[in-house]
Structure 1
Amino acid sequence: MSSIGIFLDRDGVINEVLSHRVKFVNKPKDFFLLDGVGESVKRFNDAGYHVFVVTNQGGIGLGYMKEAALHDIHKKMEEDLAEYGAKIDDISYCPHKPHVGCACRKPEPQMIVKLAEKHGIDLAKSYMVGDREPDIVAGKQAGTKTVLVGEREDVTGHADMYFPDLLSFSQWLITNLNKEK
């Protein structure tokens, strides 16, 4: 039996970016969970969903940070989520510069597809949650349902669902899951 996955973009979905206290996340000290994210991931975990992070990290290719720093940032993310009893099953990232035409950078679906193959995920029953059009396009190309959160970019007509934040989506998903039981 295949499992269902929740694929999350990182910056703007899980953590602050372009906010009053952080522009980009290039060091662990720049990483701040958005309100409700810990509770959301815990809800997904408790409902039996696999939770993945798929993130473009062009700052590596552009020389703004090293891969070791990215691993430290992801370690802090996992520690912050653990405070809520929440966990991420796996993380995939594209370290390449924007516009180099690699197969892994969103809007390409490769990160999602490879995680799905590795973990036995049914993409047609899964969700890609992002805050920008490349996230939604990647999810569509991978065959997931797509969820746009926040208001950073208008992709009217592309996403399957719209929510103000991850917490709102998690509440909707768990409520609908319980209705199906």
Structure 2
Amino acid sequence: MTKNKAVFIDRDGVINEVLTKRVKFVNKPNDLFYLDKVPEAIGLLSSADYLIFVVTNQGGVGLGYMTEEQLEKIHKKMKIDLESEGGEIQDIASCIHKPNEGCSCRKPEAGMILKLAEQYKIDIDKSYMIGDRDVDIEAGRKAGCSTIFIGKEDNTVDANFSFPTLYAAANWLKSTSNL
């Protein structure tokens, strides 16, 4: 049985803007504004033979700010947009429960990552969780992945690696993928 390596990527704050001057929350497709060079980063990761998954907490569904159908439309648009540079997003997992509902899928729990890893026969030891918050890093650790923090240097987040952007992380992963 072949085991695949994967990159699990948080959505808001890593792939797209959130809480910026342009957009507060992404509740409809035209709220999507991608961070710099994100489609290129997806292309780089695919070319390094990583399966790419988006794992995202979307409590806005459980809280009634959007419907599951609206979330699906957002993710369909995102997948098409991000695959424009030759990358492929294998799957998107969303926790739509309310915050503090106690589910096993909402990050910092590892449920979404572990479910995808089982479904797609992922070698967790060769995989990464990329996020911009401590809950992303903790979920990756609980799943057994290496972790990458995206953003300004933050000594309070204990990730294995840190980069300012997804594109910088993707360049590094591509350069180390054949070692």
Q: Could you tell me which amino acid in structure 2 is paired with residue 15 of structure 1?
A: N
- In the alignment, structure 2 segments of 5+ residues that lack a partner are none
Aligned residue pairs total 178
Aligned residue in 2 for 1:90: 91
Q: Distance in 1 between matches of 2:84 and 2:35?
A: 14
1:73–1:155 distance in 2 versus 1, CA, 3 Å? farther
Contact 1:104 1:111 in 2 (8 A): yes
- Cα drift, residue 155 of structure 1: 5.2
Contact 1:127 1:144 in 2 (8 A): yes
Aligned residue in 2 for 1:76: 77
Q: CA RMSD in A?
A: 1.3
Aligned residue in 2 for 1:171: 171
Structure 1 stretches of 4+ moved >4 Å: none
Contact 2:149 2:157 in 1 (8 A): no
CA deviation vs aligned residue, 1:64-118 (integer Å, no higher than 9, x gap): 0000000000011012113222220011110001011111100000000000000
Q: Could you tell me which amino acid in structure 2 is paired with residue 66 of structure 1?
A: T
Superposed, which structure 2 residues align to 1:139-178 within 5 Å?
139-151=140-152, 154=154, 156=156, 158-178=158-178
- Cα drift, residue 15 of structure 1: 0.7
Q: Distance in 2 between matches of 1:18 and 1:157?
A: 20
Q: Does 1:120 align with 2:121?
A: yes
Q: Distance in 1 between matches of 2:67 and 2:11?
A: 17
Contact 2:97 2:103 in 1 (8 A): yes
Q: Distance in 2 between matches of 1:160 and 1:59?
A: 30
Q: Distance in 2 between matches of 1:131 and 1:34?
A: 13
1:157–1:14 distance in 2 versus 1, CA, 3 Å? closer
TM-score (structure 2 length as normaliser): 0.96
